[in-house]
Structure 1
Amino acid sequence: MKPSSRLATTLASMPRDTRDTLFLLGVIAWIVLPLTGHLPPWATAICLALLAWRGQLAWRGRPLPGRWVIGLLLTLVLGATLLTHRTILGRDAGVTLIVMLLGLKTLELHGRRDAMVVFFLGFFTLLSNFFFSQALPVAAAMLLALLGLLAALVNAHMPVGRPPLAQSLRMAGRMALLGAPIMAALFVLFPRMAPLWGLPTDMQNGRTGLSDDMRVGNIAQLALDDSVALRVRFLTPRGAPPPQHQLYFRGPVLGQFDGREWRAGDAIHLRAQAADMARFEVEGEPIAYEATLEPHQRPWLLVLDAAPTPPELPEGTAARMSPDLQWVARRPLTSVLRYRAESYPQFRYGPRERSPALALYTALPPGSNPRTRALAAELRADPRLAQGGTPALVDAVLQRLRTGGYAYTLDPGVYGEHTADEFWFGRKEGFCEHIASAFAVLMRAMDVPARIVTGYQGGDLNAVDGYWTVRQSDAHAWAEVWIAGQGWVRVDPTGAVAPSRVGQLQRLRAPQGLFAGAVGTVISPGMAQQLRAVWEAMNNGWNQWVLNYTQGRQLDLLRALGFSAPDWQDLLRLLGTLVGLTAGGGALWALWERRRTDPWVRLLGQARTRLARAGLTLPAHLPPRTMAARAQAQFGADGAPACAWLLRLEQARYAPLADANLAQLQRDLRRLRWPRHRTVSPP
């Protein structure tokens, strides 16, 4: 026997209470599963243990534990929650408690009232999943959980008989479909008033991404993360997308160096940079684009170098430009954010003449990287380079990177105290931050102002939806050097070591694991890439049309419907009108249904009419079984088909599991051979 057949047989042989309880426990486990990564380990273990314990009691038909056991467990989980979260309030503590209460309540399923409490807690726990993620996979999983809970709710309201789970699932599906138009109307028209509409997230749970400091080696860790950082759609005809090698998305600018770590500038650096803003000039035509930024728990907006005007942000969100050309929002980005911006690939920024403030960008820790300092002195002493100034020094260092046997690698090992010395004279290999850091240190040692810029470089075009996808693995670090008469100029030394990294966008990839390698032998790389593009296009559509459905887009919808100056009051009026019309239509439908003749009663009346034509007149209050008995007594063997049909009609009403339905009975009624007319009166 096949496993599926054995499972069906086992379920069919179970008592209904056991079957329904196990089904409900399975749905609860499905709801809690996405939360396991956000719950304390002890909470996950206790919840799974409680569900397993309740399932074992249902399977073996044993009594539920007493109230004192449940009270003791409740005290323990409350104490554990306080010890873990230091409170029972807030998102994390609240979700932990609701999951624990749901697991404990399953041990009290004595009656329908307890089941209703479990359903309420189940729906609440289902919604709590969206506190942590509103991604498409989570939404799909919770939709299945919703159907499961609705099916269990239908089961609880069908106390008689043994309705199959398939029937309950079909009814749950119909309920969801009937409610879908109302849910869609509420989603589209319910006013979004930030920040009430947003879901706050704890700052401690930031995603992997860029930071306001860079320790040599940490960006290499991002190359292992292939998740999406942002998506970009270039708009026409305002601007065509630049070549891939010019796609530099600016992030934090790091100007302080302690020998191993680069940090953002302090107050002194910011005051020195404030004067640079007055020398910010752009040239050429702008590039217009729309960016969808994934939440990264930081306030940074990623824009192409360089955007002089503020990005167009949703209502309630504002941003400012820092003195180093980085756009920063007023608060950390905890949800998907879509904005439009215009950038100029050709720009000039910074003082044209050397000033005392630039000395901050030539500072090096005393005694650090002595061999690099010696190399810098050697280069400065070269009369040809001295005559060419800073551009000649930059070209000389880039030429050294091209011809000196330096390698671009994801795993260069752990660098020691003198990171630049190790790169230039020892290891001669590194990732982008190793190369950029060593370059900036050497430039500073030659008294050339230099700093590090972190961000993302490149991206991949998704042919399915036309968006450029920038991943965490596209995280990059490059340098800016100050040149007299020009200001700050971008220099990407990684391109000198590995031109394919910047020119052809060839990324270093981590070695595939066992599972990925096995999948690669089954699915061709081209098909895998196409499937990935389709999936990411679906995710992008979810972000664009669901997660990023803002108040501005609501008002745009009202304008399209003819409202001249719409506001949230117009939304409420329109929503109230639709709800009123829906409620009125539902009331009229219910009234019409109430006045309609029951199809079963109509069939019974037709059978009574046929028997009356055959000479057997029966009162209207008789049930089908009594009518069948009188027809048998009246017509004998001639009445057998009619008697069988009447018994099937009774089964269709009182035993729905029988092989009888009203449509089939209607067809059989038309084909049925009724007895001939007899004048004998019934007994």
Structure 2
Amino acid sequence: MSPTLALRARLFGEMPREARDTLFLLGVIALILLPQVGHLPLWCVGLALAVLVWRGALALRSRTLPSLWWRAGLLVLALLATWASHRTLLGKEAGVTLVVVLLALKTLELRARRDAFVIFFLGFFAMLTNFFWSQSLLTAAAMLLALLGLLTALVNAHMPAGRPPLMQAARTAGWMALAGAPLMLALFMFFPRLSPLWGTPNDNMTGRSGLSNTMQVGTIASLVLDDTIAARVRFDDDIVPPRNQLYFRGPVLSQFDGREWRADQPWERVGLPGNLSVRGQAVGYEITLEPSNRPWLLMLDAVAQAPEVPGNLRVFQTPELQWLANRPLGDLLRLRAQSHLEFTHGPLRRVPSLARYTALPEGRDPQTRALAEQLLTQARAAQPEGDLTPRLVQMALTRLRTEGYGYTLEPEIYGENTADEFWFVHKAGFCEHIASAFAVLMRAAGVPARIVTGFQGGEVNPVDNYWTLRNSDAHAWAEVWQEGRGWVRVDPTGAISPERIGQFRRLAPQPGFMASAVGAFSPTLMQNLRASWEALNNHWNQWVLNYTQSRQLDLLKRLGFDSPSLADLAWVLLVLLAAGSLAVGGWALWERRRTDPWLRLLAQARARLAATGIELPPHAAPRQMAERLAREADAQAHAPLRDWLLRLEAWRYGREPSPAGLAALRRELQQIRPIRR
């Protein structure tokens, strides 16, 4: 036989059970640790992979396991590396790192069933730690597969000696999971929810929305490369406002140092009234915000009444109309709000606090200042009296439309005088270049102006009709103050590229090889697959991740509770658990009475023999089983069980078999000590 055929026969046909079970368990561990790769230090990933491969090679070659000194040395090295990476051995990151290391190192002392049980329970714990980083549908599916794998390995470890197929253990594990599903569903629906779904709020303070309370010219353009979802919106009755009015407000930036815009601190907003006044019919909608680890809520301009949020969250509105929460949003958040597309806000008469919105750094952008003076002169000549702000705005927008300015994802590198370079050198940029240059021009002309960042546009998912906002929809626009009107939105990007605002044209990078190949095969296939997956993931978010305490109480209302509380939830859960326990107990009692008690005793004896490695056919009679024990090398040790089997047969075929005699045989079997090999 060739070496290749020999290896294949060893792998698939002649591999010892111990090696097969070990390799299967190592594969399950690898599946558990795979989602952790992006969140662990590189040394931890490398060490875990090396240990698993090493242990697999030892199992394949039937080699002895490494000594205690090897294991102790690796453990000390892992502890030192954990301290060097996290500066602590406590906390979420360091704790998960240690769990992964311990799980991998424990495989190097996998000798007895007791060691396997330790690995099983470490594996269950490591599986749960994956939800510290992600609670997505994909992660849940991977962990469900890992759960079935661990249950299969656990069932297999309890199966008798010999070489039972793994598929048999997998079927048993699957039935166990199905049997536990009702209990899991009851706990999920009615267990009082006092914290986020998995009980551990996300403390990673790296924002995922891409927006920030500062903006350097050129930073938002990089978000176009990020196509991940930032929020999903479902409008009431599927009535979507006009596309050019879908502005979702984020941080408002007021301070400018020449290159960077910055939001005001809370104490710097004192003296600036909001004065929000709305009119027209409100637009109702439900918005689901992805975790951003930022405190701001993306609301469609403008929200007059506080949105409906979960009970443990508090929200408030700043004078710039931005809605903030009392804590960073580390978990999925669904809320309801009503917005008015027609509104005015801000002071209607000039107040001293508006002077800060005309401030510019000294010595910067001299050409823009000169352009502002030129526009002021032309505006005064055309309109000697009255507020010049509307005319200045129109003159600036006309210049953007008619003098060759462009909208691009790849603008030239900007230096210190960003406004001068946009107006007179490059004449092209992304939304933040355009909005920043416009706001600087307005300030140079004495018009209060500021930058608003957020999201503009989006796209509707044809599968579930949710309006999807992606990070690539991040946008920056300007607001100028006008006498008698307050702050007025001006989006200079629309003057250069109207289709960006009206039709939501995105500037996107070139698709990858796989996407291009699929697109060439079917132009709509990739789009349809993406829409279907996002709709499925949205259902997971809405019905699982966002199953909050308020939705639990709403469920109790539908069940007939007038004023449900956490105590009611606990009572419903206890009643369901009690009813389930009674049902299982009743079924067990019925099954016990339905099955012949004599056959049940015989099956117990057969199971005890199987545990010692003596396989017998299911139809073997007690006398056949006793004769088999008499042929064993240690027949004397099996004598008590052999004699018991003969008495069991005599009771069955006696003239008057009595229940008392069968009960005595049952007690005798319990007193016979099992033989272990």
Q: Which residue of 2 aligns with 1:416?
A: 415
Match of 1:399 in 2: 398
Among the aligned pairs, what percent are the same residue? 59
Does 480-489 or 387-396 show the bigger shift?
Answer: 387-396
Give 1:551-562 correspondences, 5 Å limit.
551-562=549-560
Deviations 1:220-247 (A, max 9, x none): 11111110000011113xx932112111
Q: After superposition, what is the alpha-carbon deviation per residue over 1:175-229, rounded to whole angstroms, capped at 9, x for unaligned?
A: 1111111101110010001369642223443325110000000001111111000
Supply the AA of the counterpart residue of 1:400: R
Q: Does 1:314 align with 2:310?
A: yes
Q: Residues of 2 paired with 1:228 and 1:8: CA distance?
A: 49
Write out per-residue CA displacement over residues 508-546 of structure 1, whole angstroms, 9 at most, x where no aligned residue: 111122333233334x23121111111111111001100
- Structure 1 residues 312 and 6: alpha-carbon distance in aligned structure 2, compared to 1, 3 A threshold: farther
The answer to whether structure 1 residue 223 and structure 2 residue 221 are counterparts is no
The aligned counterpart of 2:170 is: 169
- Mapped to 2, the partners of 1:577 and 1:389 lie a distance apart of 72
Which range is displaced more, 579-588 or 245-254? Answer: 579-588
* Paired residues of 1:223 and 1:473 also in contact (CA < 8 A): yes
Q: Which runs of 5+ in 1 are unaligned?
A: 606-618, 628-683
CA shift digits 1:473-531 (9 cap, x unpaired)? 00000000001110000000000010110011111111122333233334x23121111
Alignment of 1:667-682 (within 5 A): none
**One-letter amino acid matched to 1:355:** V
Name the CA shift for 1:153/1:268 in 2 (closer, same or farther; >3 Å): closer
Q: Secondary structure at the match of 1:13?
A: coil
Question: 1:321-376, CA deviations, whole angstroms, 9 ceiling, x for partnerless residues?
Answer: 01110000000000000000011000011111112211100110001011111111
Query: Compared with structure 1, are the counterparts of its residues 241 and 55 closer, same or farther at alpha carbon in structure 2 (3 Å cutoff)?
Result: same
2:348 paired residue among 331, 338, 352: 352
Alignment of 1:172-571 (within 5 A): 172-194=173-195, 198-236=199-237, 240-266=239-265, 269-273=268-272, 276-277=273-274, 279-382=275-378, 383-384=381-382, 389-522=388-521, 524-571=522-569
Q: If the length of structure 2 is used for normalisation, what is the TM-score?
A: 0.86
2:642 corresponds in structure 1 to none
Residue type of the alignment partner of 1:36: V
Once residues 119 and 5 of structure 2 are traced to their aligned partners in structure 1, the CA distance between those partners, rounded to angstroms, is 29
How far 1:622 moved relative to its partner?
Answer: 2.9
Instruction: Give the Cα–Cα distance (whole angstroms) in 1 for the partners of residues 9 and 526 of structure 2.
Output: 36
The aligned counterpart of 2:669 is none
Q: Which amino acid aligns with 1:426?
A: V
Letter paired with 1:13 = E
Query: In 1, are the aligned partners of 2:196 and 2:331 still within 8 Å (CA)?
Result: no
Q: Hey, what's the Cα distance between the residues in 2 that align with 1:153 and 1:147?
A: 10
SS at match of 2:88: coil
Corresponding letter in the other structure for 1:340: R
- For residues 130-141 of structure 1, what are the structure 2 equivalents within 5 Å? 130-141=131-142
Counterpart of 1:19 in structure 2 is 20
User: What's the CA shift string for 1:12-61, capped at 9, x where partnerless?
Assistant: 22111101100110110011010010001111110111111111110110
Compute the TM-score of the two structures, normalised by the length of structure 1. 0.85
CA gap of 1:102–1:197, structure 2 versus 1, over 3 A, is closer
Quick one: distance in 1 between partners of 2:310 and 2:571? 23
Which moved further from structure 2: 3-12 or 316-325? Answer: 3-12
Closer, same or farther in 2 for the Cα pair 1:385/1:471, shift >3 Å?
farther
Work out the CA distance in 1 between the residues paired with 2:621 and 2:52: 53
Provide the rounded CA distance (Å) in 1 between the counterparts of 2:269 and 2:244.
30
What letter corresponds to residue 234 of structure 2 in structure 1?
Answer: R
Q: Give per-residue Cα distances to partners, 1:85-121, cap 9 Å, x unaligned.
A: 1111111011000000000000010101100000000
SS at match of 2:479: strand
Letter in 2 for 1:466: N
User: Residue type matched to 1:553 in 2?
Assistant: R
Q: Which amino acid aligns with 1:350?
A: G
In the alignment, the residues of structure 2 paired with residue 517 and residue 599 of structure 1 have an alpha-carbon distance, to the nearest angstrom, of 68
Deviation, 1:166, is: 1.5
Cα shift at 1:379: 0.7
> Residue type of the partner of 2:289?
L
Which residue in the other structure is 1:113 paired with?
114
Task: Tell me the distance in 2 between the aligned counterparts of 1:127 and 1:190.
Answer: 18
Task: Show CA shifts across 1:58-84 (max 9, x none).
Answer: 011001111121111111111111111
Name the SS of the counterpart of 1:448 in structure 2.
Answer: coil
* 1:539-587 CA distance string (max 9 Å, x none): 1100110000011111111111111111111111111111111112222
Count of matched residue pairs: 606
In 2, Cα distance between the equivalents of 1:541 and 1:429? 41
Task: Give CA deviations for 1:618-671 in whole Å, capped at 9, x if unaligned.
Answer: x974338989xxxxxxxxxxxxxxxxxxxxxxxxxxxxxxxxxxxxxxxxxxxx
Q: Please tell me whether the aligned partners of residues 131 and 198 of structure 2 are also in contact (alpha carbons under 8 angstroms).
A: no
Cα deviation for residue 7 of structure 1 reads 6.0
Secondary structure of the structure 1 residue equivalent to 2:13: helix
Q: 1:411 to 1:587 in 2, by over 3 A?
A: same
Segment drifting more, 507-516 vs 492-501? 507-516
Letter in 1 for 2:441: L
8 Å contact kept, 1:310–1:320 = yes
Structure 2 gap ranges (5+): 604-619, 629-677
Distance in 2, matches of 1:584 and 1:171, equals: 23
CA 1:110–1:202: 2 relative to 1, 3 Å: same
- Inter-CA distance 397–567: structure 2 relative to 1 (3 Å threshold): same
CA distance in 2, matches of 1:386, 1:30: 75
Structure 1 segment 71-110 matched on structure 2, within 5 A:
71-110=72-111
Amino acid at match of 1:380: L
Partner SS, residue 413 of structure 2:
coil
> In 2, distance between residues paired with 1:282 and 1:389?
25
Q: Distance in 1 between matches of 2:384 and 2:186?
A: 71
Counterpart-to-counterpart distance in 1, 2:17 and 2:560: 56
Q: In structure 1, how many angstroms separate the alpha carbons of the residues matched to 2:405 and 2:126? A: 54
Q: Which amino acid aligns with 1:565?
A: S
Question: CA-atom RMSD, angstroms?
Answer: 2.3
For residues 75 and 596 of structure 2, the distance between their equivalents in structure 1, rounded to whole angstroms, comes to 50
Match of 1:158 in 2: 159
SS at 2:524 equivalent: helix
- Check conservation: 2:459, 2:469, Cα contact below 8 A: yes
In structure 2, do the counterparts of structure 1 residues 154 and 303 end up closer, same or farther at CA, with 3 Å as the change threshold?
Answer: same
Quote the Cα distance in structure 2 between the aligned partners of 1:234 and 1:44. Answer: 45
With over 3 angstroms needed to count, the CA separation of the structure-2 counterparts of 1:320 and 1:413, relative to structure 1, is same
- Alpha-carbon contact 1:269-1:360 (below 8 Å) kept: no
For 1:661, the equivalent position in structure 2 comes to none
Indicate conservation of the 8 Å contact 1:320/1:328, yes or no: yes
Match of 1:667 in 2: none
The answer on whether the counterparts of 1:216 and 1:434 sit within 8 Å (CA) in structure 2 is yes
Structure 2 CA distance for aligned equivalents of residues 444 and 34 of structure 1: 50
Are 2:118 and 1:124 equivalent residues in the alignment?
no
Q: Mapping of 1:602-617 within 5 angstroms? A: none
